[in-house]
């Protein structure tokens, strides 16, 4: 339909909900003071209360205590605070060995790589063809000098949900700090820190229709973590800098707006898209797991065609999706996730990610499936590959 | 759903001309029994182009040209424009076509995409070379040496790495003797890619001057 744009890249970022903006507004224009101590002036106290209330909502959503959650500028900062903070706290005391998976998102992967340059040793755990790490291998990898395991909850590209409950147990038994990047699962897949002995959890508002540039980090009480960005003593002295109060309020509102019905609806859209494409379009491969995947994520490789061509055609027809193709990225490198699950470059090049959000409908699913079926058929007609003659 | 203003206001990553050729590429497909043919690139590099020629043998004019593309938008658009530009030209004229001619005719291409779009031009040049070699039209009729074969193998990609087979060490050495080229590929014979590599090597080397046969064998 002309003039309508169907956004199916909610795994990258989501459109903010109007109700979130309404909740934030007063903290731009009416209550704009710096959050002060209880002995400050009234506007500052009001700001402090808004921050505390928001923190309470975020902490509760993870089953955490109020003093165990800090606000940040997003998941990149959260994961950096977590990983480098543990490295600084334990590097000289316990050891310099860190374990991450090969398919982590860039904040975790590049924090690990940066520590490697500073003398830390990093084990990059392989994943199987659906993206799962081998739990026994993880157990075997943990050594005397291992200080941190960082394994994501849901994968950013293929949605694979790791068994973080078991991973957390293994780390607890071995007395190693465990961080998980839950940017792509937070509020979409259950995570309660009372049941799962995880020490650090990265979350973000941008994936759940909250404000962009706001995130958070759960820090279990007693976790060895050294602050490294210097400044004031905000956020229990873990994160310097004035608090983003409208952002925190918006994040809390975004969390309150999510319920099981919505997650169920996302999952139904995901399943309809996967069922239709995998059944109706020949030569397609599902990337990730069919069952253990985040409800909003679907990722499929269309063989013999290239992803940037697919996304551009879809864009011209009014659909926004993304691809793991090298041609789509600024670096011209194929997706490390698809190659990490054992796919060759061809599989990455033809991979397309469709991620759903609150503002999508079942009609969008059917429309994008029809469009992509047609686009792929046309591109295959001009491709030298995959012809049987 | 989010309402946005009409399509004309949308910002695409390429100019109108590129998008036009991408949307409706010209000269797409195969030519049965082509006079000249070349396949360049590989799925592993992310781009692959096949070019087919029909040549007027007397006038040395490209009568018909078609291409197939497994590639991104700039690759498809370049294939479309370069075949437009080459059609009806003499072989000598067509040999002079360069990436810049294609880019200019398309109203510009992003620098980042040179790698993807230059492939179609390479495909055209290789298809002309293939025609000339098949018909004994090459100017420098020098004996085919080991070095010449190795150089030619730069155009045969290792599908597992996207690098030329001679650089990924899939082909460590070749032997040329009495018009026979012997090449050993460092893959088991039953490897799923073995046959495709073998065919590609033969296609690109059998037309070299004075070559009667190309023998491709596989390592244990």
- Span A69-96, pLDDT tens digits: 999 999 999 999 999 999 999 999 999 9
Q: Which residues in chain B touch residue A14, judged by CB atoms under 8 angstroms apart?
A: none
Q: How far is CA B87 from CA A10, A69, A98, B118, B212, in A?
A: 45, 67, 60, 18, 32
Sign of CA dihedral B151, B157, B158, B164: positive
The CATH code of the domain at A18-257 is 3.40.640.10
Whole domain around residue B109: which residue ranges? 16-134
Asked if B209 and B141 touch (Cβ cutoff 8 Å), the reply is: yes
Rounded distance between C-alpha atoms, residue A147 and residue A123, angstroms: 12
Q: For residue B13, what are the contacts with CB-CB under 8 A and spacing of at least 6?
A: A312, B73, B110
Identify from A327, A333, A342, A363 which residue to disrupt to test chain B contact, counting B C-beta atoms within 10 A and taking the largest count: A327
Mean pLDDT of A230-247: 95
Single out the residue of A262, A255, A258 nearest to residue A60, CA to CA. Answer: A255
pTM of the model: 0.89
User: Is B32 in CB contact (< 8 Å) with chain A?
Assistant: no
B103 with B198, same domain: the answer is: no
- ipTM score: 0.84
Give me the total of CB pairs closer than 8 Å, taking one residue from chain A and one from chain B.
96
B6: in domain: no
B54: in domain: yes
B181 with B97, same domain: the answer is: no
At residue B156, the pLDDT reads 85
Residue A325 pLDDT exceeds 90: no
Residue A389 pLDDT exceeds 50: no
Residues 117-136 of B with CB under 8 A from A: none
pLDDT-flagged residues of chain B (< 70):
1-9, 44-46, 160, 162, 220
Rounded distance between C-alpha atoms, residue A304 and residue A387, angstroms: 9
B120 with B162, same domain: the answer is: no
B21 with B66, same domain: the answer is: yes
Asked if B41 and B119 touch (Cβ cutoff 8 Å), the reply is: yes
At residue A1, the pLDDT reads 40
User: Is A364 in CB contact (< 8 Å) with chain B?
Assistant: yes
B27 with B130, same domain: the answer is: yes
Residue A234 φ then ψ, to 5°: -70, 170
Q: Which pLDDT band, with edges at 50, 70 and 90, does A114 fall under?
A: very high
Closest residue, chain B, to A324 (C-alpha): B46
B59 with B120, same domain: the answer is: yes
CATH number for position B190: 3.30.300.130
B198 with B153, same domain: the answer is: yes
Asked if A58 and A252 touch (Cβ cutoff 8 Å), the reply is: yes
Q: How would you class A197 by CB atoms within 10 Å of its CB: exposed for 0-12, middle for 13-18, buried for 19 or more?
A: middle
At residue B2, the pLDDT reads 52
Asked if A102 and A336 touch (Cβ cutoff 8 Å), the reply is: yes
Cβ atoms within 10 Å of B89's Cβ, excluding its own: 16
B23 with B111, same domain: the answer is: yes
Cβ atoms within 10 Å of B147's Cβ, excluding its own: 10
Single out the residue of B35, B46, B37, B202 nearest to residue B125, CA to CA. Answer: B37
> What mean pLDDT, rounded, does chain A reach?
95
User: Is A309 in CB contact (< 8 Å) with chain B?
Assistant: yes
At residue A27, the pLDDT reads 98
Residue A3 pLDDT exceeds 90: no
Q: Name the H helices within B51-136.
A: 73-86, 91-95, 99-105, 114-134
B156: in domain: yes
Q: Do A359 and B2 touch (CB under 8 A)?
A: yes
Residue B116 known to be catalytic: yes
Rounded distance between C-alpha atoms, residue A380 and residue A265, angstroms: 33
DSSP assignment letter at B180: E
End-to-end CA distance of chain B: 59
Active site residues of A: 327
Closest residue, chain A, to B196 (C-alpha): A385
Q: Where are the domains of chain A?
A: 18-257, 259-381
Count of domains for chain B:
2
At residue A387, the pLDDT reads 67
Single out the residue of A203, A198, A167, A200 nearest to residue A188, CA to CA. Answer: A203
- When CB atoms are compared, the residue of B3, B48, B112 closest to A385 is B48
B163: in domain: yes
User: Is B17 in CB contact (< 8 Å) with chain A?
Assistant: no
CATH class of A259-381: alpha beta
Q: Do A327 and B68 touch (CB under 8 A)?
A: no
B120: in domain: yes
The nearest CA of chain B is from the CA of A224 a distance in Å of 43
B153: in domain: yes
Rounded distance between C-alpha atoms, residue A208 and residue A183, angstroms: 9
B162 with B115, same domain: the answer is: no
Q: Which of B106, B134, B162 is the last residue of a domain?
A: B134
B125 with B39, same domain: the answer is: yes
Q: Do A7 and B2 touch (CB under 8 A)?
A: yes
């Amino acid at each position: 339909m002309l003039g309508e744009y169907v956004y199916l890249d909610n795994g990258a970022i989501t459109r903010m909900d109007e109700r979130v903006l309404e909740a934030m507004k007063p903290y731009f224009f009416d209550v704009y003071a710096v959050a002060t101590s209880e002995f400050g002036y009234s506007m500052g106290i009001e700001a402090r209360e808004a921050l505390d209330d928001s923190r309470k909502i975020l902490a509760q959503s993870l089953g955490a205590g109020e003093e165990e959650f800090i606000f940040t500028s997003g998941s990149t900062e959260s994961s950096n605070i977590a990983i480098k903070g543990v490295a600084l706290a334990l590097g000289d005391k316990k050891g310099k060995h860190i374990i991450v998976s090969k398919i982590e998102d860039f904040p975790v992967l590049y924090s690990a790589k940066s520590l490697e340059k500073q003398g830390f040793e990093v084990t990059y755990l392989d994943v199987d063809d659906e993206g799962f790490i081998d739990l026994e291998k993880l157990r075997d990898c943990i050594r005397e000098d291992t200080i941190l395991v960082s394994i994501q909850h849901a994968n950013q590209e293929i949605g694979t949900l790791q068994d973080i409950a078991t991973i957390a147990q293994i780390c607890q038994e071995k007395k190693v700090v465990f961080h998980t990047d839950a940017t792509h699962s937070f509020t979409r897949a259950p995570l309660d820190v009372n049941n799962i002995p995880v020490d650090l959890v990265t979350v973000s508002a941008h994936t759940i229709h909250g404000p962009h540039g706001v995130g958070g980090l759960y820090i279990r009480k007693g976790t060895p973590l050294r602050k490294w960005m210097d400044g004031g003593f905000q956020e229990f002295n873990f994160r310097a800098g004035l608090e983003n109060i409208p952002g925190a309020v918006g994040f809390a509102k975004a969390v309150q707006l999510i319920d099981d019905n919505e997650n169920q609806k996302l999952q139904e859209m995901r399943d309809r898209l996967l069922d239709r494409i995998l059944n109706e379009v020949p030569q397609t491969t599902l990337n990730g797991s069919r069952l253990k995947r985040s409800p909003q994520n679907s990722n499929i490789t269309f063989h013999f065609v290239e992803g940037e061509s697919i996304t551009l055609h879809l864009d011209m027809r009014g659909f926004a999706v993304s691809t793991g193709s090298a041609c789509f990225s600024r670096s011209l490198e194929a997706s490390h996730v698809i190659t990490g699950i054992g796919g060759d470059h061809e599989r990455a090049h033809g991979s397309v990610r469709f991620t759903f959000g609150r503002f999508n409908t079942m009609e969008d699913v059917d429309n994008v499936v029809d469009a992509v079926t047609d686009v792929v058929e046309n591109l295959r007609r001009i491709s030298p590959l995959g012809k049987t003659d | 759903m989010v309402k946005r203003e009409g399509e004309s206001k949308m910002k695409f990553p390429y100019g109108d001309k590129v998008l036009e050729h991408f949307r409706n590429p010209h000269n797409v497909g195969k030519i049965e029994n082509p006079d000249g043919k070349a396949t360049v690139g590989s799925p592993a590099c992310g781009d692959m182009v096949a070019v087919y020629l029909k040549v007027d043998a007397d006038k040395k004019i490209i009568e018909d040209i078609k291409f197939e593309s497994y590639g991104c938008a700039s690759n498809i658009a370049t294939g479309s424009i370069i075949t437009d530009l080459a059609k009806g030209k003499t072989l000598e004229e067509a040999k002079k076509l360069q990436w810049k001619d294609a880019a200019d005719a398309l109203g510009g291409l992003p620098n980042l995409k040179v790698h993807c779009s230059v492939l179609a031009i390479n495909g055209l040049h290789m298809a002309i070379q293939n025609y000339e070699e098949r018909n004994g039209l090459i100017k420098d009729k020098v004996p085919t040496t080991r070095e010449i074969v190795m150089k030619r193998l730069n155009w045969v990609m290792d599908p597992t790495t996207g690098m030329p087979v001679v650089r990924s060490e899939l082909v460590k050495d070749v032997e040329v003797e009495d018009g026979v080229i012997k090449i050993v590929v460092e893959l088991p014979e039953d490897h799923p890619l073995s046959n495709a590599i073998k065919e590609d090597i033969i296609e690109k080397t059998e037309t070299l001057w004075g070559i009667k046969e190309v023998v491709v064998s596989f390592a244990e």
